[in-house]
Structure 1
């Protein structure tokens, strides 16, 4: 049955708006070419969208020809304003954008939860209001929030999770009260990171993949056939609770210590680095573990670039022993801490020798491979993205080490890639989600 004229118009309008969102301002001729619609149909939809206040003339095409240049049409960006929040255990980051996603203002604030739930919530809400004012906006249409913990799939609410600050749950209600006209949406932070990596980062060419989040904590997001999978209780990807070899205990329902988190959480990785002689202060907002991984990668790369051989990286590794022990069990004796030679010469300005940094990265890859191989065995995603600040810091070097170990552990071909967005993926994913939801409403055809 053919679509009715009104349905056809609505479909064409959404098609044109989608192209203007993706491509930026376009002429009527460019819209005709991209949509495949006739010239009169494009003229009608441009007039219709202009009259509705969704599209306006933003300039002229820079074409050199006789007569006036073609008008460029763009979405009316200030038709709605959006906010995105990345809520962490230790603070919150906020940005405000227009309807097309251009960031107008942003800020971050550490929040000490020990000061009490009320003051923590007030600090976070005040930050949102301040950034909104700096953006020159008087109201918000949609607020997207990324937070650690489980999201109830039925209600969309952040569930009460042990180990997470109470102010996280109270913040959603407080924002809704202070911004009554805004649509406030909360989503698990790792899920949002996966959305951002899929749309703008490392997984743009994959409809099926798993993002392994590596930051202060651990998590995973599962995307199958282009759809994010949340599970019956919203807990898909709680990989921190995954029982793995090499830990001293099993995880509990209220505590992931003893699970994969004990091997791959930020604190565990920082301890592993120190055990291998990679130490130092890492100023800035990223987790200390990410700074240590970044330092180790830099040292190894500089050593290789200078023609210095580094130890490790090729010998077979006992994954079970490597995951739990402070030293890595190899087919050859572990180099002594006081060994001498080119591989033990420290790179100027670093805190680690090249061989120590190399052994640390090998040991870390041993640990991460346990999680990646487990994911591959259950889901066979074909691609695992090492996300978060640590995945970004490790880059191709760490991803290649993990991939080599997974090939020895699993018969399923699994590509391992570093994330491209790091910790910024959560905030970006929250913005993309808020923008999608706002546009669904703003771009909806008027009821007749």
Structure 2
């Protein structure tokens, strides 16, 4: 796959830029509807649409009938306008997806990382490069130029997990087979999940909320005033670094809270506490939650205790930023069994705060990377 520059620049009027961005982030719309929403006259709208059609940035898509009974042509972003890549590098899998500027998926590929691989970083990097090349080949020339790519990954390699250091996202960005003029942004994976829930998930009507991810790792994505809060070191929400344990005579360990709340530690506690008369303990978090959901009292007891621990972390988050809404995500956090105890713990230790599970499940991180890439692509086209 060629990595030569392919993206052309467009000279657009301010009105054409506004129309194009509105179509990219919204549904197909007619010229009257767009003109009313953007405050543009009929003449200005006609010129803007004509310019965008000439550049193959938009296309007509059927008609709609208004309240007066008249039919109006609908317009949407053209597939030829271009596409973006979202790349998720997680603890257990790597995913790469190509989406059009209107948000629709073109193609995607997934690689599951082996739990027995001693060098997770190397395997994840290799998979991301190979999947990117495959996805670009799948897209071919049918969806316009590649305009932007975003890698969603743990972005603070400050501590170790097992024997392998966390992925160096910046290094991976230089290895991806994309054209030389395509910007590649590396964004924190939890931040990406928060962005997705804000754009198209349960938090889309909220100006402020916190996305609390609990899985193999933990983290918080914070949105304030409809903008992602990154912090002075791009480390806002790195709750894994909160001092833990914190008690008389105890010395906090670096990332100790993540070691305690991560799903690996959960299963270690489960194995230690599981009654011998019951036989082997559940093999992983999914099996534990499945058993609890089917009425297993021992499994439910462990799930509830873990949920209370998650609730205590949620209290720490809301005591600092008071987000009004906490969205739970991650392999463990997104399970509905967690929600009741989290709510009870928050009510007991702080004040009533809305708690819900994310709407996008396992797709949140990848979709957040995609929508961040679309934002960057629109900036390239519209300035």
User: The TM-score by the shorter chain falls in which range?
Assistant: 0.7 to 0.9
Higher relative strand content:
2
Q: RMSD over aligned Cα, in angstroms?
A: 3.1
Question: CA–CA distance in 2 between the matches of 1:92 and 1:49?
Answer: 36
Whichever of the two has the greater Rg, that structure is 1
Tell me the residue number matched to 1:17. 20
Which of 335, 341, 355 is matched with 1:401 structurally? 341
What secondary structure, in the 3-state scheme, does the structure 1 residue paired with 2:28 have?
coil
Contact 1:208–1:226, Cα closer than 8 Å, also in 2: yes
With CA pairs under 8 Å and 6+ residues apart, which has the higher RCO, 1 or 2?
2
Question: CA–CA distance in 2 between the matches of 1:179 and 1:36?
Answer: 37
Question: CA–CA distance in 2 between the matches of 1:392 and 1:22?
Answer: 27
Tell me the residue number matched to 1:110. 112
Tell me the residue number matched to 1:214. 214
Q: Deviations over 1:338-386 (max 9, x none)?
A: xxxxxxxxxxxxxxx2x22332232112211221111122222222211
Contact 2:152–2:369, Cα closer than 8 Å, also in 1: yes
Q: Deviations over 1:312-343 (max 9, x none)?
A: xxxxxxxxxxxxxxxxxxxxxxxxxxxxxxxx
| Displacement after TM superposition at 1:407 (Å) | 1.1
Q: TM-score, normalised by structure 1?
A: 0.71
Question: CA–CA distance in 1 between the matches of 2:37 and 2:138?
Answer: 37
Sort the Cα spacing of 1:237 and 1:116 in 2 relative to 1 into closer, same or farther, 3 A. Answer: closer
1:47-446 aligned within 5 A? 47-61=50-64, 70-111=72-113, 114=118, 121-137=125-141, 140-150=146-156, 162-163=160-161, 164-165=165-166, 168-175=169-176, 179-244=179-244, 250-252=251-253, 255-256=254-255, 259-274=256-271, 275=273, 279-281=281-283, 288-296=284-292, 298-300=293-295, 353=296, 355-393=297-335, 395=336, 397-410=337-350, 412-444=351-383
| Displacement after TM superposition at 1:435 (Å) | 0.5
Higher alpha-carbon deviation: 9-18 or 214-223: 9-18
| Displacement after TM superposition at 1:75 (Å) | 1.2
Question: CA–CA distance in 1 between the matches of 2:304 and 2:214?
Answer: 16
Question: CA–CA distance in 2 between the matches of 1:358 and 1:123?
Answer: 37
Contact 1:146–1:189, Cα closer than 8 Å, also in 2: yes
Contact 1:121–1:170, Cα closer than 8 Å, also in 2: no
Question: CA–CA distance in 2 between the matches of 1:368 and 1:189?
Answer: 19
Question: CA–CA distance in 2 between the matches of 1:234 and 1:160?
Answer: 13
Question: CA–CA distance in 2 between the matches of 1:193 and 1:389?
Answer: 12
| Displacement after TM superposition at 1:190 (Å) | 0.7
Contact 1:276–1:359, Cα closer than 8 Å, also in 2: no
Q: Deviations over 1:112-156 (max 9, x none)?
A: 664696675344212110111112348522111100132xxxxxx
Q: Deviations over 1:424-448 (max 9, x none)?
A: 211010000001110111233xxxx
What secondary structure, in the 3-state scheme, does the structure 2 residue paired with 1:141 have?
strand
